């Protein structure tokens, strides 16, 4: 079995056993740094200069730590310390268990017919207004978030880990965090957060399509492929569209539809399969993610067997 697959399995196991650090997560410190940089750099100016400052702030926030990790990794070589560093960094960069916990809270509330709790837990993982949502609306919003974050919280980090080890996973995670903080299309971040949003789109382009393909292979392949090819371009996110459409088709569940964002109703298109969203689709989405990960790891193992020696470490 290739070493990289062993590292991924151990990191996923640590995430399943330990979850995210409860007392202090390194991203909390990074978030404070990002806030300080944004406060200092985001000043009223022309769009071009504001975008330039946003790009400089992104470079200052994201690049130093991956470069430092790369230097440390090269110094450690192939020792057990290098293994431990890679595994520890990947563990901190993935959020599979946290994603499952958030989704299952909504599922439990819906199963107990506690709509207020379901709305509250849904609001923790989506950006839309959850106050007007009924049970089906909470389910659709939650399943959409689980499918999309399967890429943001798992596949993205795994993809860049496969290419560049722990430094790659950290680079992706920091960039993804900055997009979540600065990537809004409002007055404050429209220009300053432009680089963060575009660079996150770039870093997610290949992982998102790998995630979409894995979802399709793990579920209803025909519906997943059809929804991905025919419906994803109608969604606003260039990477979330393929992931959500493929996942919805794989589950044969209809997602999308009108949604309220900050008091503004957006007429989002429906996409996916034919079944009306029901609470059971929430654990089904989590199971789809797990099956897709098993397919990915099996594919890596088979590639290690077939490809020439030296392709996998």
| Burial call 142-179: b when 16+ CB within 10 Å, e when fewer | bbbbbbbbbbbbbbbbbbbbbebbbbbbbbbbbbbbbb
pLDDT in tens, 119-158: 999 999 998 999 999 999 999 999 999 999 999 999 999 9
Q: Which residues sit opposite 253 in a β-bridge?
A: 275
Residue percentage of the chain with pLDDT more than 70: 98
Distance of CA 22 to the CA centre of its chain: 20
**Whole-model pTM?**
0.94
Q: Which two tokens stand for residue 210?
A: 């790998």
On the question of pLDDT at 6 being above 70, the answer is yes
- Decide if 250 contacts 215 (C-beta within 8 A): yes
In the prediction, which pLDDT does 133 show?
94
pLDDT in tens, 255-313: 999 998 888 888 899 999 999 999 999 999 999 999 999 999 999 999 888 877 655 55
Those residues with Cβ within 8 angstroms of residue 180's Cβ, 6 or more apart along the chain or in another chain: none
pLDDT in tens, 20-65: 887 778 888 899 999 999 999 999 899 999 999 999 999 999 999 9
| Burial call 239-266: b when 16+ CB within 10 Å, e when fewer | bbbbbbbbbbbbbbbbbbbebeeeeeee
In the prediction, which pLDDT does 309 show?
62
Which of the four pLDDT bands, split at 50, 70 and 90, describes residue 80?
very high
On the question of pLDDT at 113 being above 90, the answer is yes
In the prediction, which pLDDT does 22 show?
74
Q: Which of 234, 211, 215 is nearest to 224 (CA)?
A: 215
Q: Which of 237, 240, 224 is nearest to 292 (CA)?
A: 224
What does the alpha-carbon distance between residue 238 and residue 256 come to, in Å, rounded to a whole number?
A: 15
What is the mean predicted confidence (pLDDT) over 231-259? 96
Residue percentage of the chain with pLDDT more than 90: 85
| 267 C-beta neighbours (distance < 10 Å), count | 8
In the prediction, which pLDDT does 74 show?
93
CA atoms within 13 A of residue 212's CA, in its CB half-sphere: 26
In the prediction, which pLDDT does 305 show?
86
- Decide if 175 contacts 200 (C-beta within 8 A): yes
Helix (H) or strand (E) holding 126: none
In the prediction, which pLDDT does 312 show?
55
pLDDT in tens, 157-173: 999 999 999 999 999 99
């Amino acid at each position: 079995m290739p070493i990289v697959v062993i590292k991924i399995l151990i990191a996923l196991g640590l995430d399943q056993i330990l979850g995210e650090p409860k007392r202090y997560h390194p991203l909390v410190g990074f978030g404070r740094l990002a806030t300080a940089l944004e406060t200092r750099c985001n000043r009223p100016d022309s769009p071009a200069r504001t975008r330039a400052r946003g790009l400089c702030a992104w470079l200052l926030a994201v690049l130093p730590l991956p470069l430092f990790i790369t230097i440390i990794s090269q110094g450690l070589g192939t020792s057990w310390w290098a293994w431990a560093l890679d595994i520890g960094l990947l563990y901190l960069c993935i959020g599979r268990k946290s994603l499952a916990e958030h989704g299952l809270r909504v599922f439990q509330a819906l199963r107990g017919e506690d709509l207020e709790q379901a709305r509250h837990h849904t609001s923790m993982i989506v950006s839309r207004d959850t106050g007007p949502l009924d049970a089906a609306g909470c389910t659709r919003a939650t399943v959409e978030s689980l499918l999309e974050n399967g890429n943001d919280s798992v596949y993205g980090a795994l993809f860049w880990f496969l290419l560049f080890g722990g430094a790659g996973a950290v680079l992706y995670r920091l960039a993804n965090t900055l997009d979540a903080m600065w990537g809004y299309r409002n007055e404050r971040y429209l220009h300053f957060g432009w680089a963060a949003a575009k660079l996150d789109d770039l870093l997610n382009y290949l992982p998102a399509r790998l995630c979409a393909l894995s979802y399709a292979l793990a579920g209803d392949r025909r519906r997943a492929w059809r929804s991905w090819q025919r419906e994803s371009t109608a969604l606003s996110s260039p990477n979330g569209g393929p992931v959500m459409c493929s996942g919805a088709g794989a589950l044969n569940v209809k997602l999308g539809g009108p949604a309220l964002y900050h008091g503004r109703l957006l007429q989002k298109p429906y996409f996916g399969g034919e079944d009306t969203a029901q609470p059971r689709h929430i654990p089904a989405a989590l199971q789809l993610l797990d099956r897709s990960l098993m397919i990915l790891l099996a594919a890596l193992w088979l590639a290690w067997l077939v490809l020439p020696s030296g392709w996998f470490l």
